[in-house]
Amino acid sequence: MYQDLITQYKKKKIETSENDQGAASKPSITTLDETKDFSLLQCEVSGAFPKPLLQWTDSSGKVLPAAEPQVSERGGSFYITLNANVTKTDRYQCVVTQEEINHETRAETFVHITGEEPEKSSVGKKGNASSKSPAAKSETDKLDPA
């Protein structure tokens, strides 16, 4: 009886390990390069099976354009790297999806782009709006290509 319990336990443990073995772990995010105008982000997933789909999204969930993923396969597992250039301050996520096993995981990073123009406000480029008449402000807005 005791021997049967040990055999059942080992069998159960092996089955569990086999089921979890290929699910992608949380991706790793690295900033490869950054300037005041952009940030080059890299997402890496190691040892996943089945082959996952990697995507970069912004805080609104919009899928971002990215380079072609770099994919290698070793021992039946996939190792994938996906790079994306971002030009706006935002929270970005690397989303890893394995539809075949109904598995998704993600990692998030915050990027601050220092070269971004501040959002328009009531302050004009040559002084504050309160010192201008409404007509003068609208003329300034017409000249401003933003």
Q: Is 101 left (phi over 0), alpha (psi -120 to 50) or beta?
A: alpha
pLDDT for residue 22: 72
State the Rg of the chain over Cα: 25
Cis ω on the peptide bond leading into residue 50 (within 30° of 0)?
yes
Which mean pLDDT values do the consecutive 10-residue runs of the chain (146 residues) have? Answer: 47 40 90 98 98 98 98 97 98 98 98 82 40 33 38
Enumerate the domain spans of the chain: 22-117
Reported pTM: 0.67
Q: Is 99 left (phi over 0), alpha (psi -120 to 50) or beta?
A: alpha
pLDDT for residue 19: 41
Cβ atoms 43, 54 nearer than 8 A = yes
- Does domain 22-117 fall under CATH 2.60.40.10? My reply is yes
pLDDT for residue 116: 81
